[in-house]
Amino acid sequence: MTRRNTVVCPDCGFENPFYSATCSKCRIYLRDKVYNLDLWSISSLIIESPSLAFRKIILSEHKNFILFILFFISLKYLINARFVAMISLDNFKTTVELYFSLIIVLAVFAIYFLTFSILYVKVGKSSDIALRFKDTFSLIIYAQLPYLFATIILFPLELVIFGDYLFSTNPTPFAIKSTPAYLFLVLELSVIMWSLILIYKAFITQTEQRFFSMISSIIFFSVFFVLIFICSVFVFTI
């Protein structure tokens, strides 16, 4: 009986992990090789057809642009942590420079993504699901592309419209320009929801297991938001 998450060799009938380029038994080619990823085409494909984009990421031999994406999404995480701090800490002062705050957030989430990928692969393999660490880590990073879009598009617009009051609690952006503020709030929440959907689609593309993917996505985002809150408290009180 053929298991999910595998591809059967048409020549010898051997079951291989679905990411395999050649059969482990007879060495026949199972698919065309994908050598590199193009950020622009993958970004467009994630918008149009996330499953195809994630499959291409899994099959690619070189997972390009990982560090580039990680840097810019960490910048967005820092911005989000700053917004959370406005609510959780109200008035506060920090002595930490921006670049050092970014390094802290970058390190926290890089370690989290690495740790989650390792544990995810181990749990998956114990459930007889064919997984690789580099695929999982790459999928997690690329599933965060909405935060990259928000960093490049939304945040500059917010700065232009609200200026120094963007991070103000007295008055808040909602008190200054309520309509744009609520519009940006909806867009920011949409970015979070989009990323959540993408991580689920990434996991289900990789595993073909709905329950496993759903539980993994819930755990991933639960810890993710806890870390955002911790960063909001730690980074802006040291």
Residue 101 has pLDDT above 70, yes or no: yes
Same domain, 1 and 66: no
* β-strand partners of 17: 6
Q: Is the pTM of this model over 0.75?
A: yes
pLDDT for residue 119 is more than 50: yes
Task: Say if residue 175 is in the same domain as residue 122.
Answer: yes
Contacts of 126 (CB under 8 A, 6+ apart): none
Asked whether residue 26 falls in the same domain as residue 56, the answer is no
172-198 pLDDT per residue, tens: 788 888 898 899 989 999 999 999 999
Same domain, 15 and 94: no
Q: What is the Cα–Cα distance from 94 to 71, expressed in whole angstroms?
A: 22
**pLDDT greater than 70 at residue 165:** yes
Residues 161 and 93 in one domain: yes
**Sign of CA pseudo-dihedral 175, 176, 178, 180:** negative
Q: How many domains does the chain have?
A: 2
Q: Return d(Cα 11, Cα 26) in angstroms, integer.
A: 8
Residue-number span of the structural domain to which 24 is assigned: 1-33
Q: Identify whether residues 18 and 88 lie together within a single domain.
A: no
Is the same domain home to 206 and 149? yes
Q: Is the pLDDT of residue 6 over 50?
A: yes
Same structural domain, 1 and 67? no
Instruction: Based on the fold, state whether residues 79 and 196 are members of the same structural domain.
Output: yes
β 15-17/6-8 pair status = antiparallel
Which pLDDT belongs to residue 90? 61
Q: Which residues contact 226 (CB under 8 A, 6 or more apart)?
A: none
Mean per-residue pLDDT, 148-161 = 92
Residue 17's SS3 state is strand
Same domain, 113 and 191: yes
**What digits encode the pLDDT tens for the residues 41-69?**
999 999 999 999 998 998 888 888 999 99
Q: What's the rounded Cα separation, in Å, for the pair 79 and 154?
A: 11
Asked if 13 and 46 sit in the same domain, the reply is no
d(CA 67, CA 174): 35
Angle made by CA atoms 44, 47, 53, in degrees to the nearest 5: 70
Collapsed DSSP state (helix, strand, coil) of residue 209: coil
- If asked whether residues 65 and 165 sit together in one domain, one would say yes
Contact status, residue 112 vs residue 224, Cβ threshold 8 Å? yes
